[in-house]
Amino acid sequence: MKTNGFFKQAVIIGSIAWMALFAFIPNILVGLASFCSTSAQNFIEPVWGFHNYGQLMDQAHLDILLSSLRLSGLVTLICLVVAYPFAAILARTRKDKRNTLLLLVIIPFWTNSLVRTYAMTAMLNSSGIVNNLLIFLGIISEPLAMMYTPGAVVLGLVYTLLPFMILPLYAALERLDRRYLEAARDLGASPWKAFWRVVVPLTMPGIVSGCMLVFLPGIGMFYVSDVLGGARAMLLGNFIRDQFLSTRNWPLGAAASVTLTALMGIMLLLYWHSTRRLGQDSAL
């Protein structure tokens, strides 16, 4: 018994030390760096202030932030629209077929997302599969310029992040008590009204969780924007990468990182609020 107790304490202490060393302390250092300045001699100068956050409010930087939010929001919306009916079908499928469909959803995780992004270029370039198919079908006569456009970035992000939307929605829909739908129909609700008044509120934690898992990575996946969008679609992740590696303005990059972390905190609060509200409604 003493050995088991010591082992549990060692695992807990080791986990806390690991999180402190590689998560908490680096985040604190990034937060402190966001209030510093930079110079030609040093990446970080201990001159404290909010000037880096003020720079983020400049029109050029604000355009990058707003463009990232719009692009990631569009990706999140597309993933939600595509994933919700698929997750609903998945939740209603027999268990043997359901496992096969779940495997198809999980298979993309077996390959690095950067490799999958490069594979998208073979589909979207002027001599790629999509253009050749459209020309073969007679829909177009010349190849379309699909690479290095915002649309290519959206398509790449949807392709990469769609499983992160499907799995939380499937978990929420699979737990849904069908008796609520039967009660709504007995009370005269149409299928559409039952969906909006019963199914959507009960699966809201899954919706918020899926949106959080898609929206936040969508802002920061700079390599998708680099490979498929070039310089025409800069995300907040590209901006942070450039500040740390190219322009060497670490405090400004740290301020942008803190902004991204704050967005994550807001999404977590929304998720907590939705689950808490659902719990209160269930208790009533």
pLDDT digits (tens, 9 = 90+) for 222-242: 889 988 887 677 888 889 989
Going by the DSSP 8-state scheme, the letter that residue 184 receives in this structure is H
Average pLDDT, the chain: 85
Q: Tens of pLDDT along 146-200?
A: 888 888 999 999 999 999 999 999 999 988 888 888 888 878 888 888 888 888 8
**Least confident interval from 1-5, 33-37, 140-144, 257-261:** 1-5
Position 5 in a domain: no
**112: domain range?**
56-283
Burial class for 216, CB neighbours closer than 10 Å (0-12, 13-18, 19+): buried
List CB contacts of 196: < 8 A, sequence separation 6 or more: none
Position 23 in a domain: no
Q: Tens of pLDDT along 70-117?
A: 999 999 999 999 999 999 999 888 887 888 888 888 888 888 888 888
Residue type, 274: S
Number of domains in the chain: 1
The per-residue pLDDT for 170 is 93
Closest C-alpha to 240, from 156, 147, 226: 226
Position 39 in a domain: no
List CB contacts of 65: < 8 A, sequence separation 6 or more: 56, 236, 259
Domain containing 81 — which CATH number?
1.10.3720.10
Question: How far is 84 from 168, CA to CA, in rounded Å?
Answer: 10
Position 46 in a domain: no
Q: Tens of pLDDT along 21-56?
A: 888 888 898 999 999 988 777 778 888 889 899 988
Position 51 in a domain: no
Position 112 in a domain: yes
Give the rounded percent of residues in the chain with a pLDDT score beyond 70. Answer: 94
Question: How far is 201 from 179, CA to CA, in rounded Å?
Answer: 15
